[in-house]
């Protein structure tokens, strides 16, 4: 409790420079799949919660990859298609999930293989909330999440 005034002070001081501090967008459950040998693509997953008005995720970038694409995994008549999305709506007071076999961020042309227990930086760009940079933990996709120490 005693740190609350300091937090408030810090928030006031930093507010003009860090739009993120006031952002209604929260990112949770972020992780990226470690790359198997020889593979230069990977999927990253996360959950976007919006405590404000309707917003849109317009795109993402990462120093770990040449390009980050918004993809949805669509299944039609037993056919698996990856569809590139221009943007993803994040409804007011809603949550959008990027999860395995569904929507994901596709990292293209990864220069350095993604090793488990490291993190990569990903910057998400929202229409209203602006840019939001997060550290995404890299996880060994072969290990079930419940057995993982994170």
Interface contacts to other proteins, rule CB under 8 A: 33, 36-43, 67, 71, 73, 75, 78-82, 100-101, 104, 106-109, 141-142
CB of 1 vs other proteins, minimal distance in Å: 44
Shortest Å distance, C-beta 102 to other proteins? 8
* Of 21, 20, 15, 69, residue with least CA distance to 42: 69
Identity of the residue, 117 or 127, whose beta carbon is nearer to other proteins in the bound complex: 117
51 or 109: CB nearest other proteins: 109
Closest separation in Å from C-beta 82 to other proteins: 5
CA 48-24-68 angle, to 5 degrees, is 40
User: Which CB sits closer to other proteins, 16 or 78?
Assistant: 78
Longest CA–CA span in the chain (Å) reads: 59
Q: Which residue, 53 or 82, has its beta carbon nearer to other proteins?
A: 82
Question: b vs e for 74-92, b when ≥16 Cβ sit within 10 Å of the residue's Cβ?
Answer: eeeeeeeeeeeeeebebee
* Paired tokens of 91: 């409804």
- Please identify, using beta-carbon distances, which residue of 16 and 37 lies nearer to other proteins: 37
Min CB(47)–other proteins separation in Å: 16
Give me the least distance between CB of 147 and other proteins, in Å please. Answer: 12
How far is it, in rounded angstroms, from Cα 54 to Cα 136? Answer: 24
Contact 126, 19 (CB under 8 A): no
Residue 87, SS3? coil
């Amino acid at each position: 409790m005693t740190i609350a005034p300091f937090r408030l002070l810090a928030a006031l001081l930093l507010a003009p420079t860090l739009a993120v501090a006031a952002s209604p967008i929260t990112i949770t459950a972020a992780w990226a799949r470690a790359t198997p040998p020889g593979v230069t693509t990977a999927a990253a997953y996360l959950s976007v919660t919006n405590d404000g008005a309707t917003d849109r995720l317009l795109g993402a970038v990462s120093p770990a990859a040449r390009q980050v694409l918004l993809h949805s995994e669509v299944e039609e008549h037993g056919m698996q298609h990856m569809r590139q999305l221009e943007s993803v709506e994040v409804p007011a007071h809603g949550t959008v999930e990027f999860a395995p076999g569904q929507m994901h961020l596709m990292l293209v042309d990864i220069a350095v293989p993604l090793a488990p227990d490291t993190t990569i930086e990903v910057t998400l760009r929202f229409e209203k909330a602006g840019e939001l940079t997060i550290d995404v933990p890299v996880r060994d996709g072969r290990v079930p999440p419940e057995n993982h120490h994170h």
